[in-house]
Amino acid sequence: MRDWRYHVGENRDTLLAFAVFLIMFGIYTGNHPAGFTANVVTTAANKGVILALVAMAQTAVVLTAGIDLSVGMIFLLANCLASWIVVGSPGMTALGLLGVLLVGLLCGAINGLVVIFGRLQPIVTTIATGAVYFGLALFLRPVPGGDVNSELADSLTGQLPGGIPASLVVLFLIILTIWLPFRRSEIGRAVYAVGSSEAAAYMSGVPVRKAKFVAYCLSGLFAAMGGLFLTFFTYSGEASAANGGAYTLYSIAAVVLGGISLFGGKGSVIGAVFGALMFRTIGDLLFVFDLEPLWQPLFQGVVLLLAVSLGSLRLFQIRNRLDLFG
C-alpha cells in the first residue's frame, strides 16, 4: 500500500508548519533562562491558543476562497460580552458561555448571509460588519473592565496534573469534536469544493450557498471561543480597536504560515494552529535573544514575507501569461 504517501502529501504543508514550529519552540525553550518548564510552556500555550482560535476562524472562511476581516472584532465582542455574562454560579456561567458562543455564531451567520445573498465581496462585507461588531463591543465596554468566573478562568489557563497546559487540551478537544467531524462531513467537503472551484462545485451539484454559510458560522464560533480565552487570560473585557485589527491581521499571517491557500480549497485548521503558534514563537524568540522589542514587527514581517513568497513559486510555471491574472 502506498496510501501513506498520499496522506503525507495531502498534509505536507501542515506537517511542515508543525516541524518548523517544533524547531523554533525548541530554540526558544533551549535559550529561555528558565528552560523547558511547565510554566514557560503554559504561558506560551495560553498566548498561542488565543491566536490559534482566531486563526481557525479565519481558516474556515479562507477555505471557501474568501477572507474574513471581522474575526478580530467578533473576538473582541465575545471578550466584552463574556466580561459581563460569564460570571456567577456554575449554572449562570454555563449559560453565559453558551450566550457568548451563540453571539459569535450569529455574527458569523450575518457575514455569511450578506456575502451569499447580498453578493458582496467577503472583504468589503467583513470590513463593514467588523465595524458594527466593534461598535457593539465598545457599547458593552466603553472603558476596560468587567469580570469573569475566576475559577473557570484559572482552571482553563492553568495546568493539568503532569504540567500539561489546560488550554492546549481544550484546543485539542475543540479540534476533535468540531473540526474533525466537520472535515469528514458532506458539508465540510462542500466547503473545500467551493474554495477549489466554485463553478465546478456548482456543476457537480454541490450545495454552494449552504457550504459558504456554514463556513462563516464556523468562523464566528471559533472567533467567539478565542474571545472567551482572552477573557480567561485577562479577567476583563476591553474594546480595543488596535487589538482587534492586530488579531485579524495576525490570523491571516497564521493561516499563510500554516500552509492554507488564500485561493481556497487547500489546508486545514490544524495547519492554522501551528501557524499561530509559530507566529507567537517568533515574537518570543526575540525576547530570549535580548533583542529590542521594537524589532518584533519588523522581524515578524520579514518572516511572513518569506513564507508568502514560497507560495508564489508556482507562478514561474505558468506558460500563458493571461493565467497570471486569472
Partner 1 sequence: MAFFQMEGVSKRYGGVSALQNASLSVEMGRIHAILGENGAGKSTLIKVMSGVVTPDEGRMIMEGREVQFASPAAANRAGIACIFQELSLLPDLSVADNISISNPPKHFGLIDRKAQRRIAEEALARAGGPDIHPLTLVKDLPLSRRQIVEIAKALARKPRILILDEATSALAAADVEKVYTVLKRLRSERLALLYISHRMQEIAELADDCTVFRNGRNIATYRAGTKSDNEVVELMIGREYSHVFPPKPDVGRQETPILLEASGLSWTSRIKDISFRVRAGEVVGLGGLDGQGQRELLLALFGVLRGLSGEIRIEGKPVSVASPHRAKASDLGMALIPEDRKTEGLMLPMSVRDNLSFAALGRLSHFGVIDRDVENTAVADMIRLLAIRADGTDIPVGSLSGGNQQKVLIAKWLMITPRIILLNDPTRGIDVGTKQEFYKLLRQLADAGRAIIFYSTDYAELIGCCDRVLVLYGGAIKRELVGKEITERALVSSALNIGRQAEEAGEKSVAAR
Span from 118-126, 199-207, 282-290, 298-306 in contact with partner 1 (CB under 8 A): 199-207
Q: Is 2 in the site for partner 1 (CB under 8 A)?
A: yes
Least distance CB 263 / partner 1 (angstroms): 9
Q: Is 203 in the site for partner 1 (CB under 8 A)?
A: yes
Q: How far apart are CA 175 and CA 241, in angstroms?
A: 28
- What are the b/e assignments for 106-116, b being 16+ CB within 10 Å? ebbbbbbbbbb
Q: How far apart are CA 98 and CA 203, in angstroms?
A: 38
Span from 75-83, 167-175, 223-231, 316-324 in contact with partner 1 (CB under 8 A): 316-324
- Under rule CB under 8 A, which residues in 30-49 are in contact with partner 1? none
Q: Grid coordinates standing for 7?
A: 496522506
Q: Is 315 in the site for partner 1 (CB under 8 A)?
A: no
CB atoms within 10 A of CB 288: 15
User: From residue 295, how far is each of 281, 283, 289 by CA, in Å?
Assistant: 14, 9, 12
Q: Is 314 in the site for partner 1 (CB under 8 A)?
A: no
Q: Is 216 in the site for partner 1 (CB under 8 A)?
A: no
Q: What's CA 112's distance to the chain center, in Å?
A: 17
Q: Per-residue DSSP letters for 166-221?
A: HHHHHHHHHIIIIIHHHHHSHHHHHHHHHHH-HHHHHHTT--HHHHHHHHHHHHHH
Give 237's strand partners: 145
Choosing from 37, 39, 121, 185, the residue that interacts with partner 1 (CB under 8 A) is 185
User: From residue 188, how far is each of 104, 122, 306, 310, 325 by CA, in Å?
Assistant: 19, 19, 30, 27, 29
Choosing from 10, 36, 154, 158, the residue that interacts with partner 1 (CB under 8 A) is 10
CB atoms within 10 A of CB 263: 11
> Of the two residues 6 and 36, which places its CB atom closer to partner 1 in the complex?
6
Choosing from 181, 287, 295, 301, the residue that interacts with partner 1 (CB under 8 A) is 181
Q: Is 318 in the site for partner 1 (CB under 8 A)?
A: yes
Span from 26-34, 118-126, 142-150, 193-201 in contact with partner 1 (CB under 8 A): 193-201
Choosing from 11, 31, 159, 197, the residue that interacts with partner 1 (CB under 8 A) is 197
Q: How far apart are CA 255 and CA 250, in angstroms?
A: 8
How far is the first Cα of the chain from the last one, in angstroms, to the nearest whole number? 38
CB atoms within 10 A of CB 89: 9
Choosing from 89, 309, 312, 320, the residue that interacts with partner 1 (CB under 8 A) is 320
Q: Three-class SS of residue 256?
A: helix
Choosing from 33, 184, 309, 313, the residue that interacts with partner 1 (CB under 8 A) is 184
Q: What's CA 290's distance to the chain center, in Å?
A: 28
Span from 17-25, 107-115, 258-266, 297-305 in contact with partner 1 (CB under 8 A): 258-266
Choosing from 195, 220, 259, 271, the residue that interacts with partner 1 (CB under 8 A) is 195
Choosing from 31, 132, 155, 202, the residue that interacts with partner 1 (CB under 8 A) is 202
Choosing from 11, 261, 296, 300, the residue that interacts with partner 1 (CB under 8 A) is 261
Q: Which residues contact partner 1 by CB under 8 A?
A: 2-3, 6-7, 9-10, 181, 184-186, 189, 192-193, 195-197, 199-206, 261, 264-266, 318-322
